[in-house]
Amino acid sequence: MLTHPMPDPVALSLGPLAVRWYGLMYLLAFAQFLLLGRQRIQQPHIAAIGWKKEDLDDMLFYGVLGVIIGGRLGEVLFYRPAFFLEHPLEIVQVWHGGMSFHGGFLGVLIAMAWWARKIDRNLLDVLDFIAPLVPLGYAAGRIGNFINAELPGRLADPSLPWAMIWPNVDNLPRHPSPIYQALVDGVLLFVVLWLFSRKPRPRMAVSGLFALGYGCARFFTEYFRMPDYEVSFAGITISAGQMLSLPMIALGLVMLGLAYRKTGSRPA
């Protein structure tokens, strides 16, 4: 039986300054955005519509604001409103973990809309460009959750080779759900999107596939994660993460349908 190693969340200390693994994972996510973005700019169909390296720097700046502000507000409003109402100072302590992807997704949408309007670019072209750059950053965030011993999994069969005891929860075998989400919602989705986006696609197709793919992947991996809370309707019980993924699935289907409704629609 594996046991969660429960590493120190502080990677290193420089006097009074503590550098946490969770923060380093976010730095890694932002770094891979730039590295992959430079690779994407070199793709002929992307270079043909005028994307530049300077655009990456601007998008990263606005995107960081959207991720941090939206992700934290999403955690506050979607998952733990009662806790943060009692402990309002905890809202700004993002280094302790607790970032909602769905909140960050909305935050990035708003930030990209702001930037696109500022430079007079079509928002859908912006979203199609950045969609393949997001999943690996998400995976890095989930690794940060695992290091922090956050998001423990549901109970697992003790015979499962990678079933893991989380000492901060109990002594029962559990699924290492952050690792599942890093691999499925992150790495697998990245591979699919990166291969799909290497060729010219109709406007909205790449971002539509991202919304659909992430929504489906997250809905699946939520079955292995202890739910923050569950909701029931029509005799069906789903977790909060699954409930928030349903609009993404619907949005992705609509976007893909609109993108491909006309044969030979103009590539983005």
Element (H, E) at 239: strand 236-239
- Residue 7 neighbours by CB under 8 Å, 6+ apart: 21, 147
Q: Which amino acid is at 116?
A: A
- The answer to whether residues 71 and 100 touch, using CB atoms and an 8 Å cutoff, is yes
Phi first, then psi: what are they for 153, rounded to 5°? -85, 170
- Residue 235 neighbours by CB under 8 Å, 6+ apart: none
Angle at alpha carbon of residue 133, lines to 74 and 129, rounded to 5°: 100
What is the Cα gyration radius of the chain? 19
Picking from 72, 36, 86, 75, the residue whose alpha carbon sits closest to that of residue 194 is 36
The answer to whether 38 is annotated as binding is no
- Determine the 3-state secondary structure of 3 from DSSP: strand
Q: What is the dihedral sign for C-alpha 231, 235, 237, 240?
A: negative
- Residue 89 neighbours by CB under 8 Å, 6+ apart: none
- Residues flagged as binding site: 142
